[in-house]
Amino acid sequence: MEPSSPITTGSTVPDFTLPSSSGDQVSLSDFRGRKVVLFFYPKDMTPTCTQEACDFRDHYSALKEAGAVVLGISPDPLTSHAKFIDKHSLPYTLLADEEHKVSEMFGVWQQKSMFGRQYMGIVRSTFLIDEEGVLVREWRKVKVKGHVQSVLDAVMS
């Protein structure tokens, strides 16, 4: 899939495999038959990303009860993910997309700007994939406050 044509709602998400915080290679197809909440975030241990990760942690049991798997993806290495999980008791898997192939596939690896400096990075986004592997909802350029609740509402509907 071309980075210029990100996956859109209603289309089947191509399978991908990334190294995970559990020590395994995790593929999207491993979760066929379950809903998948895929959230992309810029960086472990930064304030906004920590807030989002902790919001997913705090809603995790409700998401799990609703039949969803939660996967977090950032370009950070597994060593960073391990510290992030440990420090904040995150109960779900984090995937390392160090070469941002999956981020590009979803169109969330974009040019950003901070303090006048241009750089490439993750635009905070969440995707809900149904039991058949079809993208059913997307939240792009996410504002963290209240976001996880709206994801939970979508999973439950």
54 belongs to the catalytic site: no
CATH number of the domain that residue 84 is part of: 3.40.30.10
Q: Which whole-number Å values give the CA distances from 136 to 8, 22, 56, 67, 154, in the listed order? A: 9, 27, 19, 15, 9
**Which pLDDT score, from 0 to 100, does residue 137 have?**
97
Task: Indicate the pTM of the whole model.
Answer: 0.93
Query: Which of the residues 28, 49, 142, 155 is marked catalytic?
Result: 49
Could you tell me if residue 17 is inside a domain? no
Residue 22: band (very low, low, confident or very high) from pLDDT cuts 50, 70, 90: confident
Could you tell me if residue 24 is inside a domain? no
Q: How many domains does the chain have?
A: 1
Residue type, 138: E
- In this structure, the number of other CB atoms found within 10 A of the CB of residue 43 comes to 15
Could you tell me if residue 18 is inside a domain? no
46 burial (CB, 10 Å; 0-12 / 13-18 / 19+) is middle
Could you tell me if residue 3 is inside a domain? no
pLDDT tens digits, residue range 50-68? 999 999 999 999 999 999 9
Structural domain span for residue 129? 32-156
Smallest Cα–Cα separation from 22: which of 74, 91, 100? 91
Could you tell me if residue 11 is inside a domain? no
pLDDT tens digits, residue range 30-40? 999 999 999 99
Average pLDDT, the chain: 94
